[in-house]
Amino acid sequence: MLEQGWSKVRRFLLVKFRGKYVKERLTLRAGECGRCTLCCKVFFRCPFLVDNKCRIYGVRFEQCKAFPIDREDLDLVTRMGGKCGFSFGGDDE
């Protein structure tokens, strides 16, 4: 649970204070969101997630739009029992 809390804080801080890093990482991201909603359940269930759908998808928070920022985020989804539709350069898993 602590890992998930740190993950959420980490993404918030990266988006707010390391925008250049986030933009660079996102250019390496391939694939698309499968809308599995696991990223919406990291540490706590997002209050905008209703019936497994994001009620604010078009205007969601920057850290939500950026998910996954890097391999660390993908690994977290895997440890939560899911598989993200995104990958990063050379990831074939």
- Residue 83 main-chain phi, psi, to 5 deg: -140, 120
pLDDT in tens, the chain (93 residues): 789 999 999 999 999 999 999 999 999 999 998 888 999 999 999 999 999 999 999 999 999 999 999 999 999 999 999 999 999 976 544
At 93 the pLDDT is: 44
At 92 the pLDDT is: 45
At 74 the pLDDT is: 94
> In the structure encoding, which two tokens stand for residue 16, read together?
């707010």
Both ends of the chain: CA-CA distance in Å?
24
At 91 the pLDDT is: 52
Domain locations along the chain:
2-88
